[in-house]
Amino acid sequence: MNTKSYFFQSFAIVALAFVAFIGFKQILPDKIFPDSKVDSKNVLIDSLLLESVANDSLSQKGDSLSESEKQEAGEKITFNPAEGIEFPSETFDNYKGFQYLISFYEKLYQLEKNPQSKVRIAYYGDSMTDGDLIVQDVRSNYQERFGGNGVGFVSITSESAASRGSVKSTYSKNWKTLSYLNVKNPISPFGVNGHVFFANDKVNTTWVQYEAGLNKNVNTLDNPTLFYGRANKKGNVNFIIGKDTLRKSLVPNNLINTLKVSSGSIKAFKANFIHADSIPIYGFNFDNGIGVHVDNFSQRGNSGLPISMFNANVMQGFNNNLKYDLIILHYGTNVLNYGTKNYSWYQRGMTKAVNKIKESFPGVSILIISTADKSTKYDLEMKTDSAVVPLMKAQKRYALDTESGFVNLYTLMGGDGSMVKWVDESPAKANKDYTHFNQRGAKAIGKLLYDQLNKGYEQYKVLRQNRDTNGSKPKAVRKTKTDSVSVKKDSVNE
């Protein structure tokens, strides 16, 4: 056997393969491998996002930035005084919009002076806040400083119920669930959580059960209260608390009705719904009535666009009871990578969504949180996805256009390449999909968000003190419009 001949043949084959690879490399796309996929059966993509992408984004010509967009980074943004207070001017590049959070900051200030008062935050998000990640840490930071006990508003069913630690919930499989992600015309309006539920099984009992979490400030279910909507027929619900059963009636006369399970704090209860198939059920609220409370309204696959479908009268009905002071919109994960870097279509859609929030919750402060960093494989290396910065800028534009506060989460976590660092850290703070944070990372993000909001609050207190010291007369406070929807409390016939 001529081993020398075989050696040269093998060497020639390897050399030819190498040359062929170099040649083909020139024509291969930058993204050689597809992005990590999540099991599609566990992911929802809202219909408005798909329609917007199909109808608008793909019709955009090119991804290059216009000259005006290149100039906007250094443009000076000045604010009109509100209540005698004016935050320093900013640029588009460093925009935070604390000026537009003044009404929220004033409520925090009043809470510091009077610990018996209350501040409430609604936190809308996508899979980034699934299982109460990030939100539970924002909640914890606020409750540690300002007081408050309770996990807030909790839906009847949730895809993240099994993974959520701040409250434990289980439910029967015969609930009919309608979501604003994939239903445009529900038989009853969506609730503040973007869902409506029906106990429509007349044969088998439809039930939900809650148990308090273990963490501080959420280790009891405080003043548990059911929220439900209008219907033509009454129903019943049996609340099982330990060995006791409380039988109460559902009287769905008003657009939004409430029914208190019990006063004070309990550890767990089960609710069995009887002959309530026609009554829209929304969820339960848990809070002790003082301090700060933060509701997590997250849903996988949400772009934020479905918020524009809210019924303003129904939302005002919820707000009569819950009285929100800040609404946070934290989206972007599901908007990346749709074949374009021109997100003007998304900017327009989310401007409409924010305006719906303003109509639904008059006078409330609004905070926009941008997309985080996300990494994609380019030339065999994980780098920041090329769509992240264009999307972040579009989110900043609609925050500015709608007079909302803004958190640039992309830069806050470190900017370009930061997701790779969060994944590669030991211990890691993000998952191998290079998109989502793990529990450790979510805790860090929650602290970063709280710190930015608190920085604005501390600055507000100084400006407020200077105003009062200098004797400046505050301008008239923007008052909430008279609510047109009555809220029926405790529709109980025991």
Contacts of 474 (CB under 8 A, 6+ apart): 83, 84, 85, 467
What are the tokens at 356?
A: 């719906």
Are 282 and 318 found together in one domain? no
Total domains, the chain: 2
Task: Using the 3D structure, point to which of 267, 288, 309 is the last residue of a domain.
Answer: 288
What digits encode the pLDDT tens for the residues 164-203?
A: 999 999 999 999 999 999 898 899 999 999 999 999 888 8
Residue 346 and residue 476 in one domain? yes
Would you say residue 27 lies in a domain?
no
Identify whether the C-beta of residue 297 lies closer than 8 Å to the C-beta of residue 252.
Answer: no
- Does residue 80 share a domain with residue 54? yes
Does residue 256 share a domain with residue 136? Answer: no
Residue 162 belongs to some domain of the structure: yes
Asked if residue 493 and residue 374 are part of one domain, the reply reads: yes
Span between the terminal Cα atoms of the chain, in Å: 98
Q: What is the CATH number of the domain that holds 418?
A: 3.40.50.1110
Q: Which residues are 265's β-sheet partners?
A: 222
**Which residue(s) pair with 152 in the sheet?**
286
Same domain for 297 and 351? Answer: yes
What are the E-state strand segments in 111-255? 118-125, 152-155, 167-171, 176-179, 195-198, 206-212, 221-222, 225-229, 235-241, 244-250
Distance from C-alpha of 274 to C-alpha of 288, rounded to nearest angstrom: 28
Domain boundary among 240, 256, 288: 288
Residue 400 lies in a domain: yes
Q: Amino acid identity, residue 484?
A: S
Q: If DSSP codes are grouped into helix, strand and coil, which group holds residue 450? A: helix
pLDDT at 134: 98
Same domain as 222, residue 105 = no
H-state helical runs in 298-417: 312-322, 344-360, 388-401, 409-412
Tell me what pLDDT residue 57 has. 44
Residues 125 and 162 in one domain: no
Number of H helices, E strands in the chain: 11, 23
Length of the chain: 494
pLDDT of 126-138, one tens digit each? 999 999 999 999 9
Which range marks the domain in which residue 282 is found? 153-288
Determine the pLDDT at residue 88: 97
In the block, residue with structure tokens 């004797």:
471
Residues 6+ apart with CB under 8 A from 143: 149, 217, 291, 292
Whether residues 331 and 401 share a domain: the answer is yes
Per the domain annotation, does 393 fall within a domain?
yes
Question: Residue 250 in contact with residue 493, Cβ under 8 Å?
Answer: no
* Contact criterion met (CB below 8 Å) for 271 and 237: yes
Residues 85 and 52 both lie in one domain: yes
Query: 10-residue block means of pLDDT along the chain (494 residues)?
Result: 51 50 43 39 56 56 56 86 95 97 98 97 96 98 97 95 94 96 92 96 94 95 98 96 96 97 95 96 97 96 95 97 98 81 93 97 97 94 95 97 98 97 97 96 98 98 94 48 42 40
Looking at the structure, do residues 431 and 477 belong to the same domain, yes or no? yes
Q: Are residues 57 and 162 in the same domain?
A: no
Contact status, residue 439 vs residue 427, Cβ threshold 8 Å: no
Cβ-contact 284, 227 below 8 angstroms? yes
d(C-alpha 164, C-alpha 167), whole Å: 6
Residue 29 lies in a domain: no
Is 11 within a domain? no
CA angle 235, 240, 245 (to 5 degrees): 80
The CATH number linked to 247 is: 2.60.120.260
- Domain membership flag for residue 132: yes
Among 255, 288, 321, identify where a domain stops. Answer: 288
Within a domain: 196? yes
Q: With contact defined as beta carbons under 8 Å apart, do 354 and 100 qualify?
A: no
